[in-house]
Structure 1
Amino acid sequence: MSCLVIVAYKPKPGKERELLAAIREQVRLLRSEQFISDHPISLVRARNGAIIEVFEWCSAQSKRRAYDHPAFRALRNDFSKACYYMPLAQLAESSQIFAEFEPVTL
């Protein structure tokens, strides 16, 4: 069974470009290894600068396989250099019924 994921990344100062490059590479890798579906990736920016990504794992098993993949683990290092992960509840927009975000293009 597939699983839709929403994750918020808060870029470290001056690191948004590196974060977007890491996201781009992550999408390429995960799709090439068929860990995520062909469902369109959504990227948006919150008012506080956080980048929110929405994607779909093909299955729980594909997620586990991805986390065991050496290239994916290496990408985790790129993410940790470029951003902090944050709970969606910390976004001001999360308290709104119709949360609005700025679209981001990869």
Structure 2
Amino acid sequence: MSAVVFMALYRPKPGNEKELMEVLKVHIPTLRQEELITDRELLTLQAEDGTIIEIAEWKSTEAIEKAHQNSNVMAVWNKIGALAELTSLSTLAEAQYPFPNFKAL
């Protein structure tokens, strides 16, 4: 099973930017603690509209399934979902260009 790189995009709901950033501080450590992602360095970016982009690597496709059944992961994901809209790359203005640029966080 080969590792799978993922991009997670979170558009903060109005007034929830700081709280979202606090929850994201435990997101990747939780996935690592549960042995679902690799030790590849996390890349965290921000789009012009404030959307936060996390780029990390699942250990396998099975790890993705396990994450959705893990209570610790789901607790973090539920917090993220309450604070942000989960969105896709195609919704970002930057995605309209061949070489999009984002702010590194």
TM-score normalized by the length of structure 2:
0.93
Give the structure 2 partner of residue 27 of structure 1: 28
TM-score normalized by the length of structure 1:
0.92
**In 2, distance between residues paired with 1:80 and 1:26?**
12
- The number of residues matched between the two structures is 104
AA matched with 2:100:
A
SS of aligned partner of 1:68: coil
SS of aligned partner of 2:39: coil
Q: Runs of 5+ in structure 1 lacking a partner?
A: none
**In 2, distance between residues paired with 1:8 and 1:26?**
13
Q: 1:4 Cα shift?
A: 0.3
Give the structure 2 partner of residue 72 of structure 1: 73
Q: Identity across aligned pairs (percent)?
A: 29
Q: Runs of 5+ in structure 2 lacking a partner?
A: none
**In 1, distance between residues paired with 2:8 and 2:89?**
7
SS of aligned partner of 2:50: coil
AA matched with 2:38:
S
AA matched with 1:74:
A
- Is 1:86–2:84 an aligned residue pair? no
